[in-house]
Chains A and B, each alone.
Chain A
Amino acid sequence: MSLWVDKYRPTTLAKLDYHKEQANQLKNLVQCGDFPHLLVYGPSGAGKKTRIMCLLRELYGAGVEKLRIEHQSITAPSKKKIEINTIASNYHLEVNPSDAGNSDRVVIQELIKTVAQSQQIQSSTQREFKVVLLTEVDRLTKDAQHALRRTMEKYTATCRLILCCNSTSKVISPIRSRCLAVRVPLPSVEEVCNVLSSVCRKEGLLLPGELAKQIAEKSGRNLRKALLMCEACRVQQYPFSADQDIPETDWEVYLRETAHAIVSQQSPQRLLEVRARLYELLTHCIPPEIIIKGLVTELLSNCDGHLKPEVAQLAAHYEHRLQLGSKAIYHLEAFVAKFMAIYKKFMEDGLDGFMF
């Protein structure tokens, strides 16, 4: 547990650093005994998983922290074998069904059913239900989500589901209505700063306030990233100075450069270059929606105020299509081309206006 992220992760609800009321509510939820299905959602790095683990500890005690990895193999009706890794304690089981790709429905049907059907043996000393933790539910196919609906209702006696995802928009409404939705928002900059300085204090380091703030801002309030950045800063240079440069993730740099390339020139040739860069990003496993989001933020900061609403609308349009289609590169490039066309027209009009 050497990374700060892992080392100083709170393990109980009481020790959580921010969103304390929510932590209290969760605690009450556990104590009142009527524990519902949960749908925990929020942006990446907000502490969803930490909160869930704290909750589980609250439910079952320290036993949940004894984890083991299990390799499960499931045979689909089509005789296809699906291998999937699960992380389990005696009390819960964590699965990421989207690892199975298109056959995630089978995982849901087979794996979760078998777990849910088995009763807890010592129900007197323990809770009468197990918890199944499904991560990245928003990446589940619609089939798998529909398969989940009935399972959720049928096995309530023996099993509770905690679903974890980034956005509820891709979770079908029947599932949303069956769960208690818990939103875990990003911590504010101050909260991030507090966490950073407290961690540094525990490490015996002195973190200047400005640097902490810079890190918090640069990480986009993503606490995981902020901690990693802070530690990277520490590796690069200790004693900290307030204006030292903070290491960034490479793909963000690359994306920014791509946006600059789009703004600086608009031609089919440039589009071809941009295409190569988009491919590069995609091959590095950067999800297309993150690419489009990153591009839009960069482009918006570069273009005129008149254009902003139009560009934002375009981005929304193409991101929607992106979700519907299967070939991300077409949609990304279509967005870029459209932006180029608009931007070029705007610049030429502006130039004409300037001439006369």
Chain B
Amino acid sequence: MDEYEEMYGIEDDFERQFADELEVMAEMDFDPTPFTKVSQLRNKQPVPQSFEEAISVGDQLLNRPAGTGKRQELHSDVTSRVSPLRQDDEESLTPKAKKRKQDVAKRLQFSQMHEGDDITPPSSPEVYERLENRRTEVSMPLSPNTLPVSAVPSVLDISGLAALQQSPRSVTTTTCHVLKRPPATGDYISVTDSQGNRVYLSKKEEEDKAPDPRAFRNSQNALGLLAVPIEVLKEQVAERRHRQVVEESQRLTELLNSGIDPELLAEEEPEGGEDNDDDDEGRSSRLWVDRFSPKHYTELLSDDFTNRCLLKWLKLWDTVVFGRERKPRAPAPEVRPSGQNAQNQNQAQRFKTKSQITEEILEAELDQYKRPKYKVALLSGPPGLGKTTLAYVIAKHAGYNVVEINASDDRSAELFQKRIDTATQMKSVLGANERPNCLIIDEIDGAPTAAINILLATINRKDSREEAESGANTLKKKKKKESVLLRPIICICNDLYVPALRPLRQQAFLLAFPPTQPSRLSQRLAEISRLQGMKADTGTLMALCEKTDNDIRACINTLQFLHGRGQKQLDQRTVSSMTVGLKDQNKGLFSVWQEIFQLPRLKRKRIGADPYIGLVEAGLKEGAQRLQNILHLASSNGEHEKVSQGLYDNFLSMKMKDPNMSAVCSGLDWLCFSDLLNECVMHGQNYSLMRYLPFLPAAFHFLYASNSVPRINYPNSQYEALTRTQHTKNAMVAMLAEIPPAVRCRVSLHTLCLDMLSLLLELICPKLRPVNPQLYSTREKQQLCDLIDTMINYNLTYRQDRTPEGQYIYVLEPNVEDVVRFTGLPPRRQLTYQAKQLIARETELERMRRTERALQKRNTHKTEEVKEEKVETQKKEVKKMTTKNHQQRLENIVKQTTVESKPELDFFGRAIIPKEKPAVTTTTGDESKVGGALQIGKAVGNSDVWFRFNEGVSNAVRRNVYIRELL
């Protein structure tokens, strides 16, 4: 909140600072308006307006030096160009342009006579007849008026509108007919090639189809030059006149119709009536929110600074989109910074406020494609502040055609891509919206991550060809950059911190919506209610604003609702008793806790308390209201678990007068109660009890609320405790997992942590003499043995670990020391590093011994069997030997090779003679000298060392080695 205040406190300052800039902006603001107006007019009556405009444009562009006389001629030219068209109809499409051109002067009058019937093609002969008759009469009285200034457009107007009045069906055909008749116009162009204006006119249709930046520039230039006021004046005059004419003609036609065709009149009138009805109905059925939504920049209710920033950002696109403003903008940043930098530097010494940062973003240079640095604007704020409205108004204001994608559209990745591409790279061809598109992506916080990634990819897309030839000149580039994003995109979201939006946040121009000012909002509400004939004073409206948290939409909807119920008078009580206008507010957890622990400010009392209620009653009422308020708050939040956890973690640090600790006790009793409730709800599925849960916050509010602002910490104690419990449990489970079953069946987790572990750790820290274990006395050796036995039985060992300081220490593995140790207790006695090292080593050795012993035990049966079968003549030493996995194979080999097994034996026998074995080798050697192949084979098979001939590398020589021999 402070930040906001700070931010908006400097607004005045801001205005002073950037006075010149604001002027520029004002210019900008003004500048597009005529443009839009023109287009609006054009929308209404496309044909004549385009003519008119074309004429004027042609005038200024090409025929500047030409005199008024020539202009007259031009007009005539145009008319003549139109008129042949009509005559074509009469003369069955045999245009003879040159001839007609000479007759133009004469025909000026004449054409008026024919006009109506020419433009409107006869859909049926009867209609045609009628129209003709009428038209001639209509145009007659007007001709003196219209002639002097610009007769042609006005007359054209008449024709168009008269047709519209009479039969709307024919109008559409008319427009189509005139615009899209290629043979006539095409013909004419070829003839009047030398005249610039004609060329332009004829090309217009093609331009509509293919977007050409030149077209924009042309129109813009025409608008941007000094001729603007003239044009506006002209338009206004034309419009006014046109209106007069229309009215008059209407009157006349009605008169005529009454005489000529009563049926038609009868048909017509209900139509008009229907129109009116429609309007009325629309008025009643349409939401006020739509009806009174701002149509213009100045009507916006949202914060000025935000509006301005967005508009400025959008204006940065002008360079690339409209290709204009290059010159006026270029010097502007140079001029401004000089004044502004000084200021900036002054403030930069302290801090950069948010608004300054925003300003700087807007000042930033355009990139290589002349786009602004941030391609996307991201508006964020709670609902009902007018974000979407702002985006629409500003996009329209800056001369864009709005294309919207919102949550109601399918936003799967492919469709999203398609829509973005269509919106940013194409342009409407038909109709009047030849303005460039501005894409508005509404409710983007609900879009899937894939869609947002696509948006990001679109933003960051680069023209690969351009990358390649970076040295190429800029003019060429302009034509090539098809795939680069060249249109502004405005995204709107409620929650800026949705995970999916994270990447977008870094690349977007962020604009956070501050809450609407209640004064402005209530003013607007007053306007609306006045318009609708409701009586409401400012205080009431302010109360309404407060109740809805300055949500514009909610306010207006509430008003409409009340209006719809027939209430013409709005007072405090209705507003305060209203529950309709309330949204289901979802406040943040912190604000919930804050509200619980803080007494409501006095301001609220003013609204709540009525003057005629006594003080006591007021107090009571206030209490009830507070209760209601907290209950509502708690139940609308929904996260009871989290809320009560936060209350539990924070209530003891609140400031309270509680000498007897009774408040603390009752608070804790409440907590216990809610815990029992929760248990009941969760385990018994007794959800009806959930309605009592919000009373816990209410109770806490009455017990602990104070006037001072509470300092609230996020409650993580429960979670922390949970993770730590899990950690200790895991350590113990790891320890238990490997304990041998004989011990395991006596030890459970609880006995371990309650009775054993602490003492066990004591036990495994005997006093050992710091000498080599070889020097230990038998008693000490026995002690060490016992210790290691215990360690192994309980699956403990020491593991070398490196502390962050770089020291090496031995820690217990699994680390049950943590399980036992409590902070604040004196540390237990530890063994020295050497002792631990010794124990670790011995434990490891003992483990190996045991595993081997176990293996041996399992294998003994097999060896004995083998031995019983064959080895009788062998010496007794061999009996110790266990089976050799190579034995069987060797046996086979030896049986096959009856000779030459002796040298290898000799060689290796001498090279590596195991200590116990010399006798064996010698005997076998002797025997082999004497005896046959069988004995050799046996000897080989039973020898400790064997060799496989031709088997490659050094490990061809093998020998059985046991762990126990190494230990």
Contacts and interface: CB of A to CB of B under 8 A. Distances in A.
Contacts of B721: 279, 282-283, 329
A324 B741 contact: no
A228 B745 contact: no
Contact of B759 (A6, A94, A229, A290): A229
A333 B672 CA distance: 10
Contacts of A53: 745
Contacts of B754: 44, 249, 251, 286, 290
Interface in A229-248: 229, 231-232, 235-236, 247-248
Nearest to A343: B661
A288 to B, nearest CB: 12
B744 A87 contact: yes
Contacts, number: 186
Nearest to A85: B737
Given A229-B759, A250-B822, A345-B660, A69 B741 contact: yes
Nearest to A333: B668
A298 interface: no
A225 B664 CA distance: 38
Contacts of A160: none
B857 to A, nearest CB: 14
Interface stretch (A169-177, A193-201, A265-273): A265-273
A313 B743 CA distance: 40
A127 interface: no
Nearest to A232: B762
Contacts of B823: 280
A341 interface: yes
B257 interface: no
Contacts of A50: 746
Given A254-B824, A337-B664, A232 B652 contact: no
User: Interface SS of chain A: helix, strand, loop or mixed?
Assistant: helix
Given A65-B742, A268-B652, A271-B652, A247 B759 contact: yes
Given A247-B762, A321-B676, A285 B728 contact: yes
Contact of B821 (A250, A287, A290, A330): A250
A283 B728 contact: yes
B392 to A, nearest CB: 51
Interface string B644-685: 000010001100101011101100110110011011001000
Contacts of A80: none
Interface in A300-356: 318, 321, 324-327, 329-331, 333-334, 337-338, 340-341, 344-345
B756 A94 contact: no
A287 B717 CA distance: 18
Contact of B751 (A87, A224, A268): A224
Nearest to A50: B746
B603 interface: no
B728 A325 contact: no
Interface residues of B, number: 65
B746 A49 contact: yes
Interface in B626-657: 648, 652-653, 656
A1 B825 contact: no
A131 B843 CA distance: 36
B672, B679, B757, B767 — which one has the most chain A CB atoms within 10 A of its CB? B672
Contacts of A272: 652-653
B712 interface: no
B753 A135 contact: no
Contact of A325 (B661, B676, B720): B676
B695 to A, nearest CB: 16
B676 A324 contact: yes
A9 B725 contact: no
B672 A275 contact: no
Interface stretch (B314-322, B546-554, B785-793): B785-793
B658 A268 contact: yes
A232 B759 contact: yes
A248 B753 CA distance: 13
Contact of B753 (A3, A136, A231, A286): A286
A97 interface: no
A6 B749 CA distance: 17
Given A275-B652, A330-B675, A337 B665 contact: yes
B748 interface: yes
Contact of A254 (B732, B741, B790, B825): B825
B286 interface: no
B756 A224 contact: yes
Interface in A124-162: 135-136
B822 A249 contact: no
A327 B756 contact: no
Nearest to A3: B790
Given A3-B763, A249-B758, A287 B822 contact: no
Nearest to A335: B668
B750 interface: yes
A284 B743 contact: no
Interface in B791-842: 793, 819-825, 828
B729 A250 contact: no
B865 interface: no
B354 interface: no
A290 B751 CA distance: 12
Contacts of B682: 326
B753 A284 contact: yes
A67 B668 contact: no
Contacts of B767: 235
Interface string B739-778: 0011111101111011111111011011100000000000
Nearest to B649: A275
Nearest to A225: B755
A250, A269, A280 — which one has the most chain B CB atoms within 10 A of its CB? A250
B755 A330 contact: no
Contacts of B755: 44-45, 222, 224-225, 228, 249
Nearest to B829: A236
Contact of B822 (A284, A318, A331, A344): A284
A12 interface: no
B587 interface: no
Nearest to B659: A344
Contacts of B675: 325-327, 330-331
Nearest to B645: A327
A67 B765 contact: no
Contacts of B678: 325-326
A31 B749 CA distance: 34
Contacts of A337: 661, 664-665, 668
A131 B718 CA distance: 41
A266 B661 contact: yes
Contacts of B744: 67, 69, 87
B724 interface: yes
A253 interface: yes
Contact of A282 (B660, B725, B743, B763): B725
A264 interface: no
A283 B732 CA distance: 13
A235 B672 contact: no
Contacts of B743: 1, 6
A96, A249, A267 — which one has the most chain B CB atoms within 10 A of its CB? A249
Contact of A136 (B661, B717, B732, B748): B748
Contact of B669 (A228, A253, A334): A334
A250 B822 CA distance: 7
Contacts of A222: 755
Instruction: Identify the 5 closest CB pairs spanning chains A and B, nearest first.
Output: A2-B789, A67-B741, A334-B668, A249-B758, A228-B759
26 contacts: A1-B742, A1-B743, A2-B789, A3-B763, A231-B763, A250-B820, A268-B652, A268-B656, A268-B658, A268-B661, A271-B664, A279-B717, A280-B823, A285-B728, A285-B749, A286-B754, A321-B672, A325-B675, A326-B679, A330-B668, A330-B672, A331-B672, A334-B668, A334-B669, A334-B671, A345-B660
Given A67-B745, A87-B745, 13 more contacts: A67-B741, A136-B750, A236-B762, A249-B757, A253-B822, A253-B825, A272-B652, A321-B676, A334-B668, A334-B671, A337-B665, A338-B665, A340-B664
